[in-house]
Structure 1
Amino acid sequence: MATTPAVSVKGASRAAVRFAWGVVGYNVLVILWGALVRATGSGAGCGNHWPLCNGQVIPLAPRVDTVIEFTHRCMTGGATFAVIGLLVWTFRATVKGQAARVMAVASMVLLLNEALLGALLVKLGYVTGNQSMGRVVVLSIHLSNTLLLLAALTLTARLLGTGQMRSELRLRGKNALWAVIGLAATLVVGVSGSLAALGDTLFPASSLRMAMEQDFASGSPWLLRLRGVHPVSAVIAAGFVLWLVAQARRAGAGRLAMIVVGLLGFQFALGLADVLLLAPVWMQIIHLLGADMYWVALVTLAAAVVWPRPTDGVTVRG
């Protein structure tokens, strides 16, 4: 029996696709500001109140840490409206069965979960100088959710452009397996990197030698001894990613593959600079910006390899 070919529909309007990528960019800014909150110890700037700030809708005579934390909450609120707008626009610009709808819904769910986890950190007091295991656990879940949210938004933007159907998005074969492993390994790198940055913030070192001694000293806080996980996981993840890049070049996505390689190399350079400079706040933010750009490019590359753009099929205007 002959197999019915997958039917692809026309991608959404350029305006919808641009808006979707704009939402991705805005969420990157929210992530960067969240890192600033952590790096400056401003997580308790609004006290133990959420969603209010120190019991007020708009804080009066705020301290610097209050301004930083309140700004982050305002940016998060803006992200909520942006993702809601993306969800509505995606459903209006597509037809039933298109994959972009699935990713838009996933983005909305992950954003709500993001807000819940952020509120949990505040209400449980897992901010500023808190060094508990509970903070590390909740923060790790929070960071994982952040990267998954960014991935869902990225896939929404891409699938709006390609117009692919949900039935086409299947994870089969070696390429799909390696792509998933590569993304999962990179997610571990992102989470371990943020935990390493937390260690740098809570236990700053006055010299590179002191920082190295902290990592291996038996009496060091366990958070510092975990810092070694980040570079090791980065090297392991890079191996999977380079394999994925090779597959992408064979599949005709050479330009995107080279962007990923360039960003990967840039990340290693930023990581080395971060260590040599003893992780100042501005360097942590730049390093995180590079990581977010790399993650977005990698997710896009993985989609291009596993779910290539349809080259034929029926074109339907949504």
Structure 2
Amino acid sequence: MKDRGLSQYLRPIAMTDPARPSGALSLAGGWCWFDRVEILSRQAPPRIVGLGDLTEAERAGLSTSRPAFGGMAMDAPRIMGILNITPDSFSDGGLFLRPEAALMQARRMAAEADILDIGGESTRPGAAEVSPTEETARTAPVIAALRTGGLALPISIDTRKAAVAEAAFAAGASILNDVTALRFDAGMAGAAARAEVPVILMHSIETPATMQDDPRYDDVLLDVYDALAERLTVARAAGIPDDRLAIDPGIGFGKTLEHNLALLARLSLFHGLGVPVLLGASRKRFIGTIGAEAEAARRMPGSLAVALAGVAQGMQMIRVHDVAETRQALRLWQAATRGYST
């Protein structure tokens, strides 16, 4: 865009309507399209412009197909199944702490998931830190058993500690999902670079123990965008290339209900960072607040609604507890928006 200052941000207005104009562009090479962009700024009100007001480089940055991530093409939404091997996770703490229960749940999810995300430390608000030794003991044997049993599905290790990640990689994990975007452990970036694994950088503030203690932002959408841009720069400098990077705006991590909704309403902004985007909102507190459901395990309907809202803005990965239900909802959403089933 002519004379566009560095303080302005481009948010493609994602569409899935079958009546696609001839000049529209695919959003990040995926299932959504756009022919307008919302210009966001800290200094001026939002405004909407057409594609003709963008430079060729700006159009390409928003429309170019994202590279495969962890061996998965990013031309369709991918479902990441959550496996918490913890006693205290906010929704399913204790259910899968025993290795036998964890393996059974992993195999059940693998029938419909594209990725399994295995974690051994709760990152719910107020959670206490777990030692690397204990976290490794919870996760590495389960990952190894899944690989020994023939599971070929990509497995991500959900950890903020380099020692836990390295043990998981040795056991067969192939993706790192770090809720601190490599901030917590100074050795994590190097560990991920040496292992040559894809990395998901999630936005968060403080630690799980303190992140919900009155979180504040000047502009939550733009602040989170800038923070993730900075973490991508750090990851690249550590030797992790763009084709091994993805980002997650961190719904519920150091955000109020209002912050979460502001992010969800304009998620398509994050495609401007040029890498795949993951949305993880499953069963979170704001879903219970809006949906009037205090029990986290009963928030599946609200979680499905938020997941599909993310898919409608081109989110390439959706992290969920209810894998089979999400797959069914996604199949129907795709059929309804396309007008045919496959």
TM-score, normalising length from structure 2? 0.26
Greater Cα radius of gyration, structure 1 or 2: 1
1 or 2 for the larger relative contact order (CA 8 Å, sep ≥6)? 1
